[in-house]
Amino acid sequence: MTSPAKLKTQLRQHFRQQRRALSPAQQAAAAEGVLQHIEQLPGWPQRRHIAVYLPADGELDTAPIVQLCRLSKRQLYLPRIGAQGLMSFALWAEGLSLSRNRYGIAEPPLSEPSLACDDLDLVFLPLVSWDRRGHRLGMGGGYYDRLLAEAPPSTLLVGLAHSIQEHEGLPSEAWDIPLDYVLTDSELHRCRNRQN
């Protein structure tokens, strides 16, 4: 039998390739498309402290969401990799000069404060693949799983994805943190496995 870890590796390869194969026009349409459903998120107008990510490797582009959040004066945070595989969410003030982490992804410098998960109203998570139960396949570092293990139900966990990244029956391991919602270019899907 194939172990969950081995299956995850195979699925990662497949879906990363699918993601990268999207054309710039498809990427742009998907990034704009999510704005049609974002207001259906529960309590959206009141969610003021929001973690996003900067896209890499074909991930859904967050630029339109970032623009919308800046216009409505919300505070944005970005993942910042620390020592020993730990990650935190650091404040991303508009116009801030970013540094590059070991994966070449831009992140706030250490001078910027980080925020406890409890104080975040919403986290948009990048993902490689997702399913309707809220399982999420990430890049394999375990960064989000470790950081969000303690997230209270008030911190809404929303995976951002292209609809083509869906794969029903993703393998799940004990530490995988389920998503509350998946937001794609075609829908907002509620996963119903945590209480909000």
Ligand X SMILES: Nc1nc2c(c(=O)[nH]1)N(C=O)[C@@H](CNc1ccc(C(=O)N[C@@H](CCC(=O)O)C(=O)O)cc1)CN2
Ligand Y SMILES: Nc1ncnc2c1ncn2[C@@H]1O[C@H](COP(=O)(O)OP(=O)(O)OP(=O)(O)O)[C@@H](O)[C@H]1O
Instruction: List binding-site positions for ATP.
Output: 8-12, 136-144
Residue 47 interface partner, choices ligand Y, ligand X, none, CB cut-off 5-8 Å depending on type: none
Judged by beta carbon, residue 42 or residue 85, the one nearer ligand X is 85
Separation of alpha carbons 76 and 120, rounded Å: 10
Are 128 and 137 contacting, i.e. CB atoms less than 8 angstroms apart?
Answer: yes
Residue 166 gets which letter from DSSP?
A: B
* Residue with Cβ nearer ligand Y (109 or 140): 140
Among 43, 82, 113, 140, binds ligand Y (CB under 6 A): 140
Nearest approach, Cβ of residue 49 and ligand X (Å): 18
**Residue closer to ligand Y, measured from CB, 33 or 138:** 138
Ranges assigned E (strand) in the chain: 49-51, 75-81, 87-91, 99-100, 106-107, 114-115, 122-125, 129-130, 136-137, 156-161, 181-184, 188-190
142 near ligand Y (CB under 6 A): yes
> What does 108 bind: ligand X, ligand Y, none (CB cut-off 5 to 8 Å by kind)?
none
* The only residue of 70, 82, 149, 169 in contact with ligand Y, by rule CB under 6 A: 149
Taking only Cα atoms into account, the Rg of the chain, rounded to an integer number of angstroms, comes to: 16
β partners of residue 80: 88
CB 72 within 8 A of CB 146: no
| Nearest CB to ligand X, comparing residues 66 and 87 | 87
For binding to ligand X (CB under 6 A), which residues are involved? 53-56, 59, 79, 81, 87, 103, 105, 126, 138-139, 141, 143-144
